[in-house]
Structure 1
Amino acid sequence: MTASGTTPSPPATATTARGGRWIERWDPEDEVFWEDTGWKVARRNLAFSVLSEHIGFSIWTLWSVMVLFMGPEYGLTPADKFLLVSMATLVGAIVRVPYTFAVALFGGRNWTIVSASLLLIPAVAAFIVMEPGTSYSTFLICALLTGVGGGNFASSMTNINAFFPLRKKGWALGLNAGGGNIGVPVMQLIGLAVIGASGGPRVLLGIYIPLIVVAAVLAAMYMDNLSSVKNDTGAAKDAVKEGHTWIMAFLYIGTFGSFIGYSFAFGLVLQTQFGRTPLQAAYVTFIGPLLGSLIRPIGGRLADRYGGAKISLWNYVAMAAATAVVLLASEQESLPLFTTAFIALFVLSGLGNGSTFKMIPGIFQAKALAQGLTGEEAAAYGRRLSGASMGLIGAIGALGGLGINLAFRQSFQTAGTGTGAFLAFLAFYGACFVVTWAVYLRRPAAGRGSTAAAEAKPELSYAEV
């Protein structure tokens, strides 16, 4: 890579070497390069990355809608349905790790084509088996297959992270993830329309199967691979050894784990605890995921301006407060208050998704500066480790969604309400607040020696990430 200079940078060059569209030189931190060429290429790749990730999220959350179609004739209990959506969450979390590595192995464009095409497997499988009389184990297998849609997030975020300069990452990553997250409410909205029109689940799947093909074809036509990302699988090993990867994974459980877990569970909770019909539940389940998705880029933008750690800290406070209101509404059996507070939780989880993910590149950039790196060398270090860590952080964050669904399943099995689950979520948000403050915002105690103060300097800079 070339450091910034006073002379104009040569344009990025796309070649057909190695059988695809490859960009051999990419230096987004060079402002001349970025203004002349970089932003146009990055924006184009972002647009088609969002499309593929959007459909991936829709397929991943397919069974959160499918269970609304599954009436008494299917012979399933609420616990059976919670387990179905939990299996989709589990696989979606696990595959995020190899999906992250796939960008370095095959190239971002190439893997987007493959990952989009893989969505045909769960969609076609569900189309074939979705009818009463199908065994529960078959439904479980089909739900497991939809997990491949969850992997698209990891590869997409790793890829787009490499295209944008640090000063634009909060917005770009927030837009990429938010556009993908909107796949959840769009799936639920289309499901609502199909249920409202008295259509069956195969109608819903018939809409999505051709869209999957379109996404794969457009990725092949318009996206690019970055040679600088190719073959850097060693970055994943370095990211695993880095303590901040695991700290941010914990914090991301609180935001994205909440978003995806609630997205899968909200309709079932309304049906199980408040006796809503499938159509009544579908009328409101899409609102929370929609608002949470739309606000994610705003969370990234606020983090760009004020620092992701500060935004995340107070966001956890707000999530805890909203959870307390949900608990109150649950105890009083107040459906309007419960629904309003639950939707607020979605909004706050989306805001926190944007702010926590913006912290990741900032943390590794701060580490690079603390090690004495400067300029493009520091930027390259930050891009390398932040891109590699995002898949692991995203995977563990998604496992939080599994925890939420299993917590609801256990709570309804033992007590008939979600109160026990919400108490656990409230405690977890408190833990996220403490970790954010202690690691990224706590200032060193006054009166320490000069050596201790010098050692604390890099940590002080994390307040701005």
Structure 2
Amino acid sequence: MDTFQVKGTPKRGLLGTTLGFFFGFAAVSLYGPTAVNFKEAMGISSTLLGLLVAIPSLSGSLLRIPFGAWVDTTGGKKPFFILLLLSVIGLGGITLLLHFSYPNHMHGMYGLILFFGFLSGCGIATFSVGIGQTSYWYPQKEQGKALGTYAGLGNLAPGIFSLILPLYLAHYGFISAYLAWFIFLFIGLLIYAKLGVNAYYFQFRDAKMSIDKSREKAKKLGQEIFPSGSVKDSLINSAKVKNTWALVVLYFTTFGGFIALTAWFPTYWNQFQGFSGVKAGLFTAIFSILASLLRVPGGSFADKAGGERMSLLAMVLVLLSSIVLAFTQSAVIGILAAIVLAAGMGFNNAAVFKLVPHYVPQSVGGAAGWVGGLGAFGGFVIPPLMGAIADSYGKIGYARGFFVFVLLAAINMFIIYRLLKSKPVEKN
């Protein structure tokens, strides 16, 4: 046993999870832009179409919870690989179905496409797995930087592909796009299989070393965070920590909000500001990319200033920018406010996952599952609320809908205040 050679480094562990999540998140980017093709071919209602478009995000949210907790027993590579493989199967299934049945033989295929869509969404669920897998590689003082880099770069996929997809669809067509995305995701699966590696403790456990010896040897190599218990224990233990639920609410606002606004902003720019579809898509992509990229410096800032203080600053930005967006009719001011809102969301998303291993060090995977899975549900809850406001107030309602974020930011500022009041002295 003593001759066992460990594999990888923290940097390699981070590279593997970041690339894996980027590929997995990109896998479902086709659904929204190609929704009209499914509607026309199958003759389905708008309600059924809405379910079809939402189903990858639904599985990508719910599966974060059990798969995130699984990291605490396996180290992450196995659940991450399985989720990517299921996503490959889902996207491959849709590609084959379209090749043989589109456009004249699609009637009656709705259930099958819904199933494949559910599988495709598994790539999004890799997020919480990657959080746990990355977290175990790094010491407490570097969690913000590492997790900010992972989530920030991985989250770039929706923004980047919202720019690429319209061009690809225009030049190569609907079915070709699905084939290209299937090949892209399959390559991502192979890359992760090669680069993905578990932290030292899990490698020693896989080599049949005892828990105590594995901890001892991993500590000598620099690992600071260790799991305890089974998948069930990880979920239960993290759920018992009240601050886990505080982090869920914080993440619900800014990651759920990020997903929600990626869907809402095209309508806002088009219907309220009068932008063309292409221009509306461009400014939505700018918001998405900025919110993702700013998670990287946001993580480093959180390491230095503390996750709670970083989150408080972020919520101030969300509050102020949302008030401006709710009232301004100026396109220029609206664009500037959207940029500030992107900064607030990116910074808070980074701060939240700096705090996960701080508050729940023995069940990082379970906590990451709860926070990532339930937090992402904001992407389903927030748009209908904003839509209801728009229905009530007419055109101005597209702006007034941002009051949802004003309320959420105010609630979160109170939560952060309570976290700071109860926070122990942090040792870096």
Q: Decide: shared fold, TM above 0.5.
A: yes
- Indicate if the aligned counterparts of 1:114 and 1:216 stay in contact, CA closer than 8 A: no
Separation (CA, whole Å) in 2 of partners of 1:335 and 1:73 = 37
Change (3 A) 1:141 1:346: farther
* Corresponding position: 1:418 with 2:398: yes
Separation (CA, whole Å) in 1 of partners of 2:137 and 2:3 = 14
* Corresponding position: 1:340 with 2:336: yes
- Indicate if the aligned counterparts of 1:184 and 1:289 stay in contact, CA closer than 8 A: yes
Separation (CA, whole Å) in 1 of partners of 2:409 and 2:47 = 25
Q: Deviations over 1:290-332 (max 9, x none)?
A: 1111110111110100111111112111101111111123xx3
* Corresponding position: 1:401 with 2:375: no
Residue 184 of structure 1 corresponds to 158
Separation (CA, whole Å) in 1 of partners of 2:124 and 2:268 = 22
* Corresponding position: 1:51 with 2:19: yes
Correspondent of 1:353 among 349, 354, 374: 349
Aligned-pair identity in percent equals 23
Q: Give the number of equivalent residue pairs.
A: 393
Amino acid at match of 2:191: L
CA RMSD of aligned residues (A): 3.2
Residue 324 of structure 1 corresponds to 323
* Corresponding position: 1:93 with 2:39: no
Separation (CA, whole Å) in 2 of partners of 1:413 and 1:73 = 29
Residue 430 of structure 1 corresponds to 410
Q: Deviations over 1:351-389 (max 9, x none)?
A: 11111211222234xxxxxxxxxxxxxxxxx2x223321
Change (3 A) 1:302 1:171: same
Separation (CA, whole Å) in 1 of partners of 2:332 and 2:154 = 29
- Indicate if the aligned counterparts of 2:317 and 2:343 stay in contact, CA closer than 8 A: no
Separation (CA, whole Å) in 1 of partners of 2:50 and 2:279 = 19
- Indicate if the aligned counterparts of 1:69 and 1:200 stay in contact, CA closer than 8 A: no
Separation (CA, whole Å) in 1 of partners of 2:73 and 2:426 = 34
Separation (CA, whole Å) in 1 of partners of 2:386 and 2:423 = 39
- Indicate if the aligned counterparts of 1:117 and 1:212 stay in contact, CA closer than 8 A: no
Per-residue deviation, 1:252: 1.1
- Indicate if the aligned counterparts of 1:307 and 1:464 stay in contact, CA closer than 8 A: no
Secondary structure, counterpart of 1:65 in structure 2 = coil
Per-residue deviation, 1:242: 1.2
Change (3 A) 1:326 1:72: farther
Separation (CA, whole Å) in 2 of partners of 1:179 and 1:353 = 13
- Indicate if the aligned counterparts of 2:39 and 2:45 stay in contact, CA closer than 8 A: no
Residue 235 of structure 1 corresponds to 234
- Indicate if the aligned counterparts of 1:85 and 1:264 stay in contact, CA closer than 8 A: no
Amino acid at match of 1:360: V
Residue 4 of structure 1 corresponds to none
Runs (5+) with no aligned partner, structure 2? 206-213, 215-226
Residue 266 of structure 1 corresponds to 265
Matches within 5 A, 1:22-421: 41-67=9-35, 84-127=52-95, 128-129=97-98, 137=110, 143-195=117-169, 197-225=170-198, 226=202, 227=205, 232-233=230-231, 234-274=233-273, 276-329=275-328, 332=329, 334-364=330-360, 382=361, 384-416=362-394, 417-421=397-401
Secondary structure, counterpart of 2:311 in structure 1 = helix
Per-residue deviation, 1:189: 2.1
Secondary structure, counterpart of 1:163 in structure 2 = coil
- Indicate if the aligned counterparts of 1:82 and 1:409 stay in contact, CA closer than 8 A: no
- Indicate if the aligned counterparts of 2:69 and 2:367 stay in contact, CA closer than 8 A: no
Residue 6 of structure 1 corresponds to none
Q: Deviations over 1:41-94 (max 9, x none)?
A: 111121111111011111244434334878989978987766554444333211
Amino acid at match of 2:250: L
Change (3 A) 1:105 1:343: same
Separation (CA, whole Å) in 2 of partners of 1:69 and 1:347 = 35
Separation (CA, whole Å) in 2 of partners of 1:101 and 1:441 = 27
Correspondent of 1:440 among 397, 412, 419: 419
Change (3 A) 1:310 1:81: farther
TM-score, normalised to structure 2, is 0.81
Segment drifting more, 246-255 vs 57-66: 57-66
* Corresponding position: 1:13 with 2:12: no
Per-residue deviation, 1:349: 0.6
Per-residue deviation, 1:237: 1.7
Per-residue deviation, 1:404: 1.9
Runs (5+) with no aligned partner, structure 1? 1-9, 15-22, 24-39, 365-381, 443-458
Per-residue deviation, 1:273: 4.3
Change (3 A) 1:290 1:113: same
Q: Deviations over 1:168-222 (max 9, x none)?
A: 1111111111121011112212213325x44433333233212222222222223
Segment drifting more, 270-279 vs 218-227: 270-279
